[in-house]
Amino acid sequence: MGLRFKATHVVLAMLCVMYFITYIDRVNIGTAASEIQKELSLSNTQLGLVFSAFAYPYLMFQVIGGWVGDHFGPRKTLFWCGMIWALATIGTGFVSSLTMLFVARFALGFGEGATFPTATRAMQYWTPATSRGFAQGLTHAFSRLGNAITPPMVAALMVWLTWRGSFVVLGIVSLLWGIVWVWYFRNEPKEHRHITEAELAALPPRPTGTKPPVPWGPLLRRMWPVTLTYFCYGWGLWLYLNWLPLFFKNNFHLDLKNSALFSAGVFFAGVIGDSAGGMLSDAILKRTGNVRLARLSVTVAGFAGALASLFPILFVHDLTLVALCLSSGFFFAELVIGPMWSVPMDIAPRYSGTASGIMNMGSAGAAIASPLVAGWVIDLTGNWYLPFLMLMGVLLIGGLSAFLMRPEEPFSETADVVGAPSAVPAE
């Protein structure tokens, strides 16, 4: 009797589960925030500081973590990352002060910092080149599914086990994922006992020869427009993830259950956007063979659609209409994910972990600034709409900066280090 599932599909499924769990563990605090804020007597500005605590090590470990994933391989890297973020999540359930809460969230960012760049490194060799947009869109769709499920799930766990117990349960689930991952995954597809010859034939060939050191300067020069574009996307993402449940609860005076349900509805729109963006980008690539068109068309359309979706909240304040506008905005913003995470693999396949880490520094930087600015603005003005209106300007910048990306020009480390102008045109 043959195997029911292909090894490549199982690996992709395990990465989907990882994205799902990591986002549950990073956004669960948004739902629990009202109770945490009350118990620890935190202002909105202090709460914004707690939200941003995750992002300081997350930012630092984007490039470092990408290098670690490239150097040690995804198997060990993701296992140890999983152990760290799981223990940090469990530890959050035992905090008793602002400082302890900040440290727990800081440790979570430390554990999750290398996960997405390393997952990209795993996909580099476990996914056919023509399916990269789909794979990135699907995995990130599961992260948004985690976003959507988290508010009602955490709300239910809080009723059952209090907010502290909810963190302990979620941390234990993370521990289990790490154990299964290190047992099943192999860095080299050909070393997996269940891989078939047909699967291996469809996968991209491995680079031959000794891999030279990462050419940081040239690679950073190629990646900075990608990082800037992803910063603009990340500003909106972290605003949604951290403040949306409190926005519904405080602005419309909803209870925990209803604010969680409205937040879940918005986040479900992102699940659809993630999958659609990746599939659309791949479809354009297969039809035209034009990498630039495939990546930029979907990215720019996502930024433009998100901006247009938020515009009506300047004039309408009905709960249902605002929720629909925010849902539409999150859907279009999430179209960006699939093509954007394909760009590092398009530009620098040999350094996909490092390159994707450089890109994700943009989102990590936004994860620091966006929650802090939102909390400060809300405390200063009492206006819960203003942070979302500020987001419109950031989306405009993101749509324009996308045109500076060059995914159609593969990075050549040898030519760039030597300085040959023919390898990568001046930017």
Domain membership of residue 345 (yes or no) is yes
User: If we measure between CA atoms, which residue out of 101, 8, 106 comes closest to residue 61?
Assistant: 106
What phi and psi values does residue 18 have, to the nearest 5 degrees? -60, -45
| Domain-located, residue 147 | yes
Structural domain span for residue 313: 7-198+218-410
CATH number of the domain to which 272 belongs: 1.20.1250.20
Does residue 377 fall inside a structural domain? yes
Instruction: Report how far residue 211's alpha carbon sits from residue 214's, in angstroms, rounded to the nearest whole number.
Output: 9
List Cβ neighbours of 138 (8 Å cut-off, separation of 6 or more).
Answer: 12, 16, 274, 275, 278
Helix axes 7-40, 216-251, angle to 10 degrees: 50
CA dihedral of 34, 38, 42, 48, whole degrees rounded to 10:
-10
Residues 173-185 pLDDT 10s: 999 999 999 998 8
Q: Going from the first residue of the chain to its last (427 residues), give the mean pLDDT of each consecutive group of 10, the final group possibly shorter.
A: 67 91 88 90 91 87 74 89 94 94 93 83 79 76 84 90 94 94 86 76 66 79 94 94 88 84 88 85 90 94 96 89 94 92 85 82 91 92 92 96 90 54 33
Sign of dihedral through CA atoms 62, 362, 364, 31?
negative
DSSP symbol at 42? -
Residue 163 lies in a domain: yes
pLDDT of residue 4: 60
Give the up-direction half-sphere exposure of residue 391: CA atoms within 13 A in the CB hemisphere.
Answer: 34
Q: Is position 426 within any domain?
A: no
pLDDT tens digits for range 103-145: 999 999 988 888 877 887 788 788 877 777 778 778 877 887 8
In this structure, is the dihedral angle defined by the CA atoms of residues 254, 92, 154 and 10, taken in order, positive or negative?
positive
What's the pLDDT at 188? Answer: 80
Task: State how many domains the chain has.
Answer: 1
Contact (CB, 8 A) for 308 and 410 = no
Identity of the residue numbered 2? G
Residue 207 domain flag: no
Residue 341 has a pLDDT of 84
Taking the C-alpha atoms of residue 284 and residue 32, their distance in angstroms, rounded to an integer, is 41
Task: Please check whether residue 39 lies inside any domain of the structure.
Answer: yes
Is 382 within a domain? yes
Alpha helices by DSSP H, 190-336: 197-202, 216-251, 256-288, 291-310, 319-334
